Amino acid sequence: MEIPLNSVRRWLFTTNHKDVGILYFITSLYFLVVGGALAVLMRLQLMAPGLNILQSAPFNQAVTVHGLVMVLWFLSPLAFAFANYFVPLQIGARDLAFPRLNAMSYWFYLFGGLLAAIGFFTPGGAIDTGWTVYAPLNTAKYSPQLGVTLGGAGLLMLIASVTMSTVNFLVTIFRSRAPGMTLWRMPIYTWGILLTVFMMLFAFPSVAAGVIMLAADRLLGTLYFSSVEGGAILWDHLFWFFGHPEVYIVLVPGLVAIAEVLPVFARKPLYGKKILITALIIGSIMSFMVWAHHMFVTGIDPGFRKFMTITTETISIPFGVATLAFILTLVGASIRFTTPMLFALGGVALFIIGGITGVFNSSVALDYYLRGTYWIVAHFHYTLVGGATTGLIAALYYWWPKMTGRMFNEKLGKLHFIVYMIGFNLLYFPMHFLIDMPRRVFTYPAGMGWELPNMLATMGTIVFALSWLILFINLYQSLRKGEPAGNNPWGAWSLEWLVPSPPPRHNYDGQPVVKADGTITIQPIPANGGHHIHETHYSKWPLFISLGMFVTFLGVGLGLPVLLLGALILIGSIVGWAKEKFIAVEPAEGERWPFANVERVRLGVWTLLFGEVVLFGALIGSYIFVRINSATWPAPGEFLNPMEGAINTFILVTSSLTAILALAGAKSGNQGLLRGGLIATFILGFIFLFNKGREWSELFSHGITFSSGLPATTYYITTGAHGMHVAAGLAVLIYLIIHAFKGRITKENHAGLEGFDLYWHFVDIVWLFLFPLFYLI
Amino acid sequence: MTTALSPVTAQWQELFTLYLTIGTAVGSIVIALLIYNIIRYRHKPGSPEPADAPTPGKVPADRGTIGAALILTLIVTGILFTITLGTMETVDLIEKPPEKGTMVIKVHGFQWGWKFIYPNGLETVNEVRVPRDEVIIFAVTSDDVFHKFQLIEFKIGVDAIPGKVIWIWIKPADTGEYTIQCFELCGVGHAFMTGRLIVMEPSEFESWYKG
C-alpha cells in the first residue's frame, strides 16, 4: 500500500515510528489542554472560600480526570512521542522492531483516553473517585455511574497500549542497535526510555489486575473490593505497586531529557554518564520497593512499614546523585542560554525542591499528618510538573527543529520560560503553606488562613496557562515561517543530528556504524549486498483493531448490539492483520548484547510473558490476601472436585508436550509431526476449556455465583483470566494450523510457532499454580 | 514555639522543623551551587569551546570518576540518616499511648460525617467532647468508604478504613474547640465532612459525660 504523504490516510494508517511519534506528540498536547482546562476550572473554584463555579460533583470529576489525563495521557505519552521519534534514530535503526504493533499502541492510547473522557457526557458524569480510584468508593454500591466503568475501560486500553509499547521498545533497543552502538554508548534519552519501559513492564500489570477485578466487581458482582477481607487495603496494594513505579515512569524520561539537553548547550560531556545510568538503574529497581509509603497510616504491619520507610528514604539517594551529576556537568562549561537549555536548568532547580519535600513524606511520623494535605499536592507537582514536564519541554524545544525542519522564535521561547517559571512557582509554592488544607475539596471555609495561598495559586494558574499559550503560538509560527533548521543547529553529537531535518522515512541512506574510537559513520549498503529493502510503512489494521476494542467497551455501557458490533470489527480486523503481508526488516547485524541469540519474536514473547507473570502474580496474590484475611474458607473438595481438576491439569500438561512435538516437527522439517502436534494441542486445549465450562455451569446450577462469597469470587476470576489466556492461545493455534497446512511453517521460518510454544508453556505453568491453590489446599 | 496542644503534636512539630531546617539548608546549598555554576560557566563572547565539547558524529568521552560518585552518595546518605533517626522516635510516640486508665472513643467515619461512641455507650455525631490533660485514644474505622480522620490543630490523623480499626491518641493541654476534617476523597460530601473536637475542663466534662 502506497499513500501520498500529504493525505489524511497517511496519518490514519502509518506505521512509521516518526509519524507515530508525531501522532503521540499532537495527542498528548491535546490531552494537556483537556487536563489543563480542568485544572483552571478547579483553581477558579478554589480562588476564594465558598465559590460556586464548580460544584462538588463536577469538581470531583474534574479532579479525577485531571489526574488521570495528566499522568497517563499527557506526560508519559509526550515522553513516548520523543521516544517513538528518536529512539530508533539514536540507535541507528530504520524503525521499531514491530511497526504495526507500535501504531496499535498509539490507537489504543487515543481510544482509551476518549473512553475515559466520554464519561463527561453520560448521566452521572465522568469518573469521580480520584485518580487513585480508592476502594470501596470505586464499587457499584458507592459509585454506580457509567463514568467509572468507562474510566476503567479507558485504563485497560491504556494498559494494553503501554504493554505493546514496552515489548516493542525493549526488543528494538536490544535487537536493532547499529554495529558499535554498545549499551554504554547509547544516548542518555534512549537509556532512560529503556529503564522506563522496564518499569512499565512490571508495574502496569498490577493495576491491570486491579482494574480487571474492579470490572468484575462492577459488572459481574464479585466481591473483591466490596468485602472487608479485600477492600481498601487490597486495592491500595495493587494500585500502589503500580502507582509508585509510575511516578518514576513519568519522572525518568523528564530527567534524561534534561541530561540529553544539558551537555549540548554546556558544551561539555555529561558528567558521570555511567554513574548517572547506574543511579537510574538502582532507582528503577527500588521504585518497586517503596509502594507502601502511600499506605503508612492504613495500619499495615509496622515491620513492613519500617522497611518501606528505609527504602523510600534510600531511593532519594540515586536521584540525589543524578541531580548532582547535572550540576557537575556545568563545571568548566561554556553555557549557551538557548530556550531548551533554560528549561533544562529550570527543570533541575524545580526538581531539587520537589525532591526535598519528598523526603518529608518518607517519614511515617510526618505522614500521619501530611497524607491527604495540599503539602502533598505541592510536592508531586514540583516533581512531575517542575521536574518531568519542564524537562520534556526542554526536549520539545531541542528536538522541534529536527522533527519539523524549522527553527522556533528564540525570543518567544525565552519569554515562555520566564512566564512559565513565574506562573509555576506562583501556582505551586503557596500550596506548601496549605499544609492544613485537605486535597480534593471543592470548597473551604473562610477564616482558616487558607485564603491568601489559594488566591495566589489561582493567579499563578492563569499565568502558567498563558505560558503554554506562548509555546503554542511559537510552534504555530515556526511551522508557518520558521527559519530552516539544517541538519544540526545545536552542534549535538548523537545520530539523529547526522541526517536531514526532518529525517527521511527510512532514517539512514545506509548503515550507521560506531567505530571503536567512537566515530559515527553511515556506511553505504554494498551494492552487491543484494536487493534494496522494501519495508511496509502502512497498515489499516492497527486503527481498526483499536476501533473494534473501543466500540466493544462502549457496548458495555450502551448495550449488546453495540458490543456485538465492536466484537465483529475486532475479530474481522484481527483476521485482516493476520493475513496482511507486512515487512519490517531487522538490521542484518548490530549490537545485540545480551540477546544476540534470541530471535526478535521470541524476545517479544519473553518480554510479554514477564508482564504476564506480574498479572497472574497480582491475581494469585489477591487470592492469597483475601484468603488470609477471611475467618473461614471451604475445605478442599468442598465446592471444587479435586479429581476433575487433576484430570484437566493432566490434559493441559499433555498439550504442552504436543506443542513441543509440533515445534520439533517444524525444526526437523517433519510436516506431519508439525500438523499433528498442532491439531492435538488444539484439541487438548479445547477439552480443557470445555471441562472448565462444565465445571462453571455445574457450580452455577448449584447456585454458586460470582457473588457467593470470596471463595467463589476468587475462583471464577482467577481461573477465568487463565481460561481467557487458553482461549487466546487457541485463536493463535487456528492461525498456526492454517499456516502449517499451507506449508508456511518450515525449518527456516518458525519464529511464530516458537513464540506460541513459549506462551502456551507459560499458560500451563500458571495452571500448575492455580490447581493446587484452588483445588487442593 | 508556643506550648503544644498534645505530646504528639509537639513531637510532630519538632520533627517537621528538623526536616524543614535540613531541607531548606540542603536545597539552598544545592540551588546556590547550580546558580553559581550557571553564572561562572556562562558563555562569554570570544571564549573558546571546551576541549571536550560534543562533536557531531562522535560519541563523547567519559567524564567523572567512581570516587566522585561515592562522595556524592555519602553526602546524600549522611543527611538522610540523621533525619531517619528522628522519625523512628516520633513513630514510637505516636503509636504507644503512655498509660492505662485512658478513655477509648470509637470513631466511625461515614458518608458524610463522624460518629463517636464513648465507653459508656454514649453516641455523638460530628462533635466529640473530651477532658483536658487526659489521654484520649481514638479507635478509628469506617462504616462505608475510605476516609481519613484528621485533627488539624493537633497535627495528627489516620486513615478510616472499613473492617479495620487504627488507633491514635492525644493528651490535650488546652480547652477549646478544634477542627476535625476528612482528608481522603470520599464522594460528593467530602468537603463538608467536618466535625468539632471540644476539650473541656475535667470537672465540666465529668458532669456532661454523666448527664
Report the gap between the CA of B41 and the closest CA in chain A (Å): 5
Are A435 and B17 in contact by the 8 Å Cβ rule? The answer is no
What does the mean pLDDT of chain B come to?
91
pLDDT confidence bin for A5, thresholds 50/70/90? confident
- Report the candidate in A5, A73, A63 with the shortest Cα–Cα distance to residue A38: A63
Q: At residue B206, does pLDDT exceed 50? A: yes
Torsion sign across C-alpha atoms A54, A56, A59, A65? negative
Q: Across the interface, do B43 and A436 touch by the CB < 8 Å criterion? A: no
Strands B194-200 and B127-131, sheet pairing: parallel
Mutation for testing the A interface, residue in B37, B85, B138, B147 having most A CBs under 10 Å: B37
Contact B183 A373 (CB under 8 A): yes
Cβ pair A53, A41 in contact under 8 A: yes
Enumerate the residues of chain A whose CB falls inside 8 A of the CB of residue B11.
365
Confidence of residue B101 (pLDDT cuts 50, 70, 90): low
- Distance between A700 CA and the closest CA of chain B, angstroms: 29
Binary contact (B43, A334; C-beta < 8 A): yes
- Whether B56 and A488 have beta carbons less than 8 Å apart is answered as yes
* Cβ(A630)–Cβ(A710) below 8 Å: yes
- What's the whole-number average pLDDT of chain A? 95
CATH number of A632-777: 1.20.120.80
Q: How confident is the model at residue B53 (pLDDT cuts 50, 70, 90)?
A: very high
Question: B97 falls in which pLDDT band (50, 70, 90)?
Answer: confident
Closest-CA distance of chain B to residue A611, Å:
30
Which residue from A56, A321, A493 is facing B76, i.e. has the nearest CB?
A321
The residue-averaged pLDDT of A172-192 equals 96
**Nearest of A573, A366, A142, A539 to residue B87 by alpha carbon:** A366
Q: Which of B49, B148, B183 lies closest to A334 in CB terms?
A: B49
- pLDDT given at position A350: 98
Q: Which residues, 6+ apart, have CB-to-CB distance to A600 below 8 Å?
A: A97, A171, A175, A586, A751
Strand duo B123-125 + B147-151: pairing: unpaired
C-alpha span between A484 and A494 (Å, rounded)? 20
Torsion of CA A715, A720, A725, A729, to 10 degrees: 120
Task: Please state the rounded mean pLDDT for residues A252-274.
Answer: 97
pLDDT of res. A526: 65
Give the Cα separation of A362 and A292 in Å (integer). Answer: 10
**Best residue in A356, A377, A444 for a mutation probing chain B (most B CBs within 10 Å):** A356
Q: Using CA atoms, how far apart are residues A258 and A255, in angstroms rounded to an integer?
A: 5
Q: How confident is the model at residue B3 (pLDDT cuts 50, 70, 90)?
A: low
**Of the candidates B26, B37, B47, which has its C-beta nearest A331's C-beta?**
B37
* Closest residue, chain B, to A299 (C-alpha): B166
Question: Is the distance from CB of A127 to CB of A64 less than 8 angstroms?
Answer: yes
Spatial distance between the Cα atoms of B160 and B149, rounded to a whole number of angstroms: 6
Q: Which residue has the higher pLDDT, B18 or A109?
A: A109
Q: Where along chain A do its domains lie?
A: 13-297+310-516, 632-777
Q: What is the pLDDT of residue A1?
A: 61
Taking CA–CA distances from A518, the nearest residue in chain B reads B59
- Best of A52, A68, A137 to disrupt the B interface by mutation (most B CBs within 10 Å)? A137
Cβ atoms of A235 and A135 within 8 Å: the answer is yes
* DSSP letter string, A564-623: HHHHHHHHHHHHHHHHS----PPPSS-B-TT-TTS-HHHHHHHHHHHHHHHHHHHHHHHH
Q: Which of B135, B132, B148 is nearest to B104 (CA)?
A: B135
**What would the mean pLDDT of A318-331 be, rounded to a whole number?**
92
Residue A518 has pLDDT above 90, yes or no: yes
Using CA coordinates, name the residue in chain A closest to B71: A321
Nearest Cα to B176, choosing from B157, B135, B204?
Answer: B204
CA distances, A578 to each of A149, A499, A584 (Å):
31, 34, 14
Q: What is the DSSP string of A546-571?
A: HHHHHHHHHHHHH-HHHHHHHHHHHH
Q: Is A533 helix (H, G, I), strand (E, B) or coil?
A: coil
CA distances from A547 to A19, A109, A230, A550, A574 (A): 19, 11, 34, 5, 11
**Contact check, Cβ <8 Å, B158/A232:** no
Give all strands of the β-sheet with B103-110 in edge-to-edge order: B123-125, B113-117, B103-110, B136-142, B166-170
CB within 8 Å: A320 and B186: no
Question: For residue A208, what are the CA distances in angstroms to A137, A214, A247, A618, B199?
Answer: 18, 10, 17, 9, 47
Q: Over the stretch B109-129, which tens digit does the pLDDT of each residue have?
A: 999 999 999 999 999 999 999
Structural domain boundaries in chain B: 1-42+65-96, 103-210
What mean pLDDT do residues A456-479 have? 98
Handedness of CA A96, A98, A100, A103 (dihedral sign): negative
Residues in a beta bridge with B167: B139
Identify whether the C-beta of residue A127 lies closer than 8 Å to the C-beta of residue A116. yes
Q: Which among B47, B145, B191 has the least Cβ separation from residue A142?
A: B145
Question: Do the beta carbons of residue B94 and residue B154 sit within 8 Å?
Answer: no
Chain B residue with Cα closest to A318: B73
A134/B145 CB distance under 8 A: yes
Looking at this predicted complex, what is its ipTM?
0.95
Nearest by CB to A366, from B15, B55, B152: name it. Answer: B15
When scoring A60, A190, A223, A268 by the number of chain B Cβ atoms within 10 A, the one with the most, hence best to mutate, is A268
Test A57 with B188 for CB contact under 8 angstroms: yes
Distance from CA of B207 to the nearest CA of A (A): 32
> Residue A420 and residue A465: Cα distance in Å, rounded?
8
Interface contacts (A, B; CB < 8 Å): 272
Contact B68 A275 (CB under 8 A): yes
Half-sphere exposure of B151 (CA within 13 A, CB side): 26
Contact B69 A321 (CB under 8 A): yes
- B103-210: CATH topology: Immunoglobulin-like (2.60.40)
More confidently predicted of B101 and A658: A658
Q: Are B162 and A520 in contact (CB < 8 Å)? A: no
When pLDDT is averaged across residues A512-534 and rounded to a whole number, the result is 79
- Pull the grid cell for residue A159: 494498559
Minimal Cβ distance to A334: which of B50, B162, B185: B50
Which run of H or E residues covers position B131? Answer: strand B127-131
Angstrom distance (rounded) from CA A338 to CA A350? 18
Q: What is the 3-state secondary structure (H, E, C) of A401-414?
A: HHHHCECCCHHHHH
A431: which DSSP letter?
A: G
pLDDT interval class at A524 (50, 70, 90): confident
Contacts of A494 (CB under 8 A, 6+ apart): A90, A187
Measured distance CA(A237)–CA(A288) in Å, rounded: 12
Q: Is B82 exposed, middle or buried (0-12, 13-18, 19+ CB in 10 A)?
A: exposed
* A147 close to A154: Cβ distance less than 8 angstroms: no
Q: How many CA atoms lie less than 13 Å away from A561 in the CB half-sphere?
A: 0
Pick from A359, A373, A494, A628 the residue to mutate for testing the B interface (most B CBs within 10 Å): A359
In this prediction, residue B92 carries a pLDDT of 80
Average pLDDT on B36-59 reads 94
Q: The C-alpha cell of A577 is what?
A: 492483520
List C-alpha distances in Å: B59 to B46, B55, B160: 26, 8, 56
**In this structure, are residues A425 and A382 in contact, taking their beta carbons and an 8 Å threshold?**
no
Q: With contacts defined as CB-CB under 8 Å, which chain A residues touch B87?
A: 309, 363-366
Inter-residue contact A639 to A774 (CB < 8 Å): no
Distance from CA of B135 to the nearest CA of A (A): 18
Going by C-alpha positions, the residue among A104, A171, A252 that lies closest to residue A610 is A171
* A13-297+310-516 maps to CATH 1.20.210.10: yes
Q: Are A495 and A92 in contact (CB under 8 A)?
A: yes
pLDDT for the residue numbered B135: 93
Nearest to A271 among B63, B150, B181 (CB): B63
- Find the range with the poorest average confidence among A236-240, B21-25, B138-142, B181-185: B21-25
Centre a 10 Å sphere on the Cβ of residue A471 and count the other Cβ atoms it contains: 22
Predicted pLDDT at A530: 46
- Quick: pLDDT tens for A39-72: 999 999 999 999 999 999 999 999 999 999 999 9
Nearest-by-CA chain B residue for A137: B145
Q: B11 or A401, which is more confident?
A: A401
Question: How far is it, in rounded angstroms, from Cα A328 to Cα B33?
Answer: 9
Residues in chain B closer than 8 A to A266 (CB atoms): 41
Q: pLDDT band for B1, please (50, 70, 90 cuts).
A: very low
Could you say which of A264, A439, A520 has the minimum Cβ distance to residue B59?
A520
List pLDDT tens digits, range B156-182: 999 999 999 999 999 999 999 999 999
Grid coordinates representing A305 are 512499614
Give B-chain residues touching A449 at CB under 8 angstroms: none
B190–A441 CB contact, under 8 Å: yes
pLDDT band for A532, please (50, 70, 90 cuts): low
Q: Do A272 and B65 touch (CB under 8 A)?
A: yes
Q: Which pLDDT score, from 0 to 100, does residue A89 have?
A: 98
* Cβ within 8 Å of residue B35, ≥6 positions away: none
Q: Would you say A320 and B77 are in contact if contact means Cβ atoms under 8 Å apart?
A: no
| A185 with B184: Cβ contact below 8 A | no
Confidence band of A141 (pLDDT split at 50, 70, 90): very high
What percent of chain A has a predicted confidence (pLDDT) above 70?
A: 99
- pLDDT attached to residue A302: 86
Residue A98 has pLDDT above 80, yes or no: yes
Using a CB-CB distance cutoff of 8 angstroms, which residues of chain A are in contact with residue B168?
368
Q: How far apart are CA A219 and CA A146, in angstroms?
A: 11
Q: Find the residue in A nearest to B16 (Cα).
A: A366
CB contact under 8 Å between B76 and A363, yes or no, is no
Please indicate whether, in this complex, the C-beta atoms of A263 and B181 are within 8 angstroms of each other.
no
